[in-house]
Amino acid sequence: MKKIIVLSFISIFLIQCSTVPITGRKRLNMVSDSQVLPASFAQYEGFLKENKLSKDVSKSTQIKRVGKRISEAVDKFMRVNGMQAEANSYKWEFNLVEDKTVNAWCLPGGKVVFYTGIMPICANEDGVAAVMGHEVAHAFAKHGQERMSTGQLQQIGGVAVALGTRNSENAALWNTAYGIGSQVGVMLPFSRTHETEADKLGLVFMLMAGYNGNEAAEVWVRMSQRAGKKSPPEFMSTHPSNETRIQTLRSYLPEARQLASKYNVSAKK
Strands 111-115 and 93-97, how do they pair?
parallel
* Cβ(134)–Cβ(106) below 8 Å: no
- d(CA 44, CA 108) in angstroms, rounded, equals 10
Instruction: Please name which of 14, 4, 10, 5 lies closest in space to residue 159, comparing C-alpha atoms.
Output: 5
- d(CA 200, CA 103) in angstroms, rounded, equals 19
- d(CA 38, CA 108) in angstroms, rounded, equals 10
Q: Which spans in 103-231 are helix H?
A: 119-122, 125-140, 143-163, 168-182, 188-208, 214-227
3-state secondary structure of 84: helix
* Beta-carbon contacts of residue 157 (< 8 Å; ≥ 6 apart): 9, 178, 182
Among this protein's residues, is 86 annotated catalytic? no
Q: Which residues pair with 96 in a beta bridge?
A: 114
- d(CA 97, CA 194) in angstroms, rounded, equals 25
Exposure string of 9-36, with b = 16+ CB inside 10 Å and e = fewer, is eeebeeeeeeebbbbeeebbbbbebeeb
Question: Which one of 86, 93, 125, 135 is the catalytic residue?
Answer: 135
Q: Please list the active-site residues.
A: 135
